[in-house]
Each structure stands twice: as C-alpha cells, then as structure tokens.
Structure 1
C-alpha cells in the first residue's frame, strides 16, 4: 500500500534533525523575505525591477563567495540550455516581484497558487504526461477559492493580476524544463544558480535602468537610510533560501517538506489579514481562501501518495 502525506515515514538520525533546522530556516526566510519585500513596496514604493536586480546581485555575490571557498563544486555546462534556464529564472522572479508590488499580499499568494493549475497543463502540452483525474479534481476547490477571492475583491489591480498569471505560467514552464535539464546535466539547483544569478544581473541592468531610472533618481522623502538596509536584508533572505532547500533534500520526508509549504500559505494569509492596511475581507472571500488551502492539502496528499 502506498503511503500518503499524512503517513509517510519521517526521516531520523542526526542528519535528519540537522535538515529540519534547514527546513525551519527555509520557512522563516521565505515568509520573511516576502513580508519585507511587501513592506518595501508598500511603504517606499521602490520599483520592483530594481529590487529584483538587487536580489540577483546579492545572490551573485554569495555565489562568488561559495565559488572562492569551493563550497559548491563547479561544473562546466553548455551555454545554450544554461542561458534558457537563466532567462526563465529571471522572468519568473521578475514577474513574481511585480505581482507582489501591484497586488495585496493575499491576492499575490492566491495568484501564486495558480502554479498548481498551470503545471498539469504544461505537462500535458510539452511532455504528454496526464495527471490522474483524482489529482485534477483536487484542483477544483483551489480554482473555486481563487475565483471567489477575485470576484469580490474590493481593490482589484488588473496589471497585478496579469503579472501574477504570467509569473505562475513562467514558473510552471521553468520547473518542467529545469527537471528535464537537471537530469540531463546531472547538476543540483545551487550549481545552476552559479550561472543563473549572474545572467539575471546582466539581463536586469539595462531593463531596470530603462524603466526605473526616473523613480530611482526622483527626489522622494520616502527614500531614507532604512531602504538600503531593508533591500540588503530581503536580498540576503532570498539568496539563502536555495541553500536551505538544498540542505533539506534527501534528509527530510516528503510529508514534512509539503506540510511546511502549506504552512507558508496559511501564515501568509494570516499576515495578509492583519498588515499593510488590509481591506476587510468578506466572509465569502475568507471561505474561498479556506477552500484554496484545503485544495492544496488534498492535491499535495494525492501527488505524494
């Protein structure tokens, strides 16, 4: 009998306990990074493209440090697939940050959840792999919850919704291409990040300069010494997250990892209800949020069983 998310065996031993610390760090850093970013966008109105450039620059500096200390083994890869992965990674991070900039925190996380809908579609389109009917049916409460949220949203942002959908689509396509190329090239995510982070910097320097220079150099009382500090902290959090993910791979159970992912969604909802001058959400919207959360739990259970 196959095990599901609620009864899969937990990893044991010193390495497993060490990895659980990494899993906890992943949870804290992921949520912290998202909240700090939203704080920057909400209070300082700092442009999202330049923020993304700062994050890629921070990641590049960290990657250079790991390369100099030989913490991550260097692998020589073909530039064709690597450039495609780098562009895809840059796009998904950029669209994700633009979505967070233009949407409320709850709308952002609801749009991010549409990745679950796009992944089966991408698999069907590009790899001819079809998910089981039970897995697809588990997406019904997810879709229903998202629709309930946006149908009754008081402060809907069309541009933010567009960025959120594009971010979810690019993320799904990137994950599919990444899994294929990782098997082909026999590398882990950190070895790829050694290439992807500098590519992101090179792509975003001209783009952020073209779109954001007027905002960056405009005299604004909101730009205080707190801003660069917050940008560096958010960049550091974002840069360390991939290390915590790599830290936990193979040493924690699927159940533990997915429960933490579901906790991120639930905690983000809670923070969204109580921060950033949140609008009062209608009961039907809150019901939609709970439907989406329950759909995620069922979908994850079916995927790992």
Structure 2
C-alpha cells in the first residue's frame, strides 16, 4: 500500500505548489522569515496532496474505465482510505492556518472547496473545471501572501491571476491527453466538446497571458526567460496532438512551472529552492509519469 500512496502523491508535482506558496509570501514588499516561507511551502504542498487523494477518489469510476492501473481502481488503495486521507490532510492544513492566521484559514477553506468541487463535478463540465483548477493555484499564492501581508498587495493579485491562467492552460493540456477516456466516461471536457485545435489555441492564449503578467511582476528574472522557453517548447509539441504528445507537452510544463514560480522569489532563494525541486521532479517524472497516466502499451 505504501507504493500506492506514493503514486497518489505524484512526486513529480510536489515541488510546485510549495514554490507557489513561497512565492506569494516573498512578493514585495514582504520580507518573510524562513519560518513563514516554510509554513507557506508546507500548507500549499499538503493541500496539493489532499487534492490528489480526493481527486482520485472522485475520479475512481472514470479511472476504472480508462486508467485501471491507478491505485484505487487497481485495488491497491481502498477508496475510503483515499477519501479519509484527503480529508485529514485538508483538516490539518486548515487547523494549522487557523492557529497562525484565521484570515488565511478562511481563504484556505475556500481553496479546499474549489478543489473538492473540481474533483466532484466541475472536472466533467468543460472550462468550469479547468478554471477551478487554475483558481486553486491562484488562491494558494494569495494564501502564502497573507502569511506576510495583512492585505495582499496589488502585485500579489496580478501574480495570482497569472497562475490562474497558467494552471488553467496546463489543466487543458491534461484533457488533451485524456480525450478517449473522457468520452467513454461521459466527461464533457473542452476538447471533447470543441475539438483539439480549439483547445490548443486556448492553451496558447492563456499561457501567453500568464507569462506577460509574470513579466509585469518580475521583468528582469532570468528564470522567467527559461520558463518561457519551456512553455514555447510545450506549445510546439502540441502542433500535432496524440495522447503521448500531450503527455510530453505537460511534462515540459511540469518543469516550466517550477522555473515560473521560482522566478517570483528573491533570486538567491529562488535558485536555492529550485535545485532540490528539480532534483525531485526530473527523475520521478521520468520513471513514474507515463505508467500512472497510461495502461501498459497504450501510450502513443
């Protein structure tokens, strides 16, 4: 069962939410302590893992059709265990933030509601689900900001909007990978309704908007230029679309978004935290990603 839990965590995604939370805490005029940065990282990361458990719980019937190798449909992780673990982690985050700052706990509660709504019913309803997923990331950044600012400064809200657009685009790329399974499961995702080309165009628009907004926040960050290069490579991969190419495009975005989030941190901190983030993400994505997304022999 331990391996089933590790697969549910998606280790190749775990570095990202913590960086987003830390970025919110560090945005000007904040001068966060390491304790505040650590709390922002931990709250966002545990909330992210909670979302994975609950998302897999709500997706268990669809996964039984298109991804039977995943922990719940394969029987390696009982559905009730995934549900109780997800609820428990969310409760731990909310209780901790309530002690630290009750205002942040209310915003974190809203984030949990958005994530549960995404997994429970919005995911199957096109852009509503995609925007819900992006909204959760934007709220995580604002939660991090409120650990160091009584009221989030304007730059925080612009950065949050950027990550809302970015993760909406990223989530849409994921739907390109899952078109066949979503159709069989009755999920009316954006590409199921409007087709691949319309989805890729929307991804490009949202991604461009996200990068432009982040450039407005940190116009001279070398990491941001690196992130944009990976983003362009991801979009180029989608010039033709298959499940395998959509996965490769998202794999590039998994790296890109680490650079994007680290770009919002002070340069020294950004490079310090980016190194272990990449050290966790690159090997685990290479070894674990495709088997989690595709039954054996189905990647194309």
Alignment TM-score, normalising by the size of structure 2: 0.29
Computing the radius of gyration over CA atoms, which structure comes out larger, 1 or 2?
Answer: 1
Query: Which structure would you say has the larger RCO, counting Cα contacts within 8 Å and 6 or more residues apart?
Result: 1
Alignment TM-score, normalising by the size of structure 1: 0.29
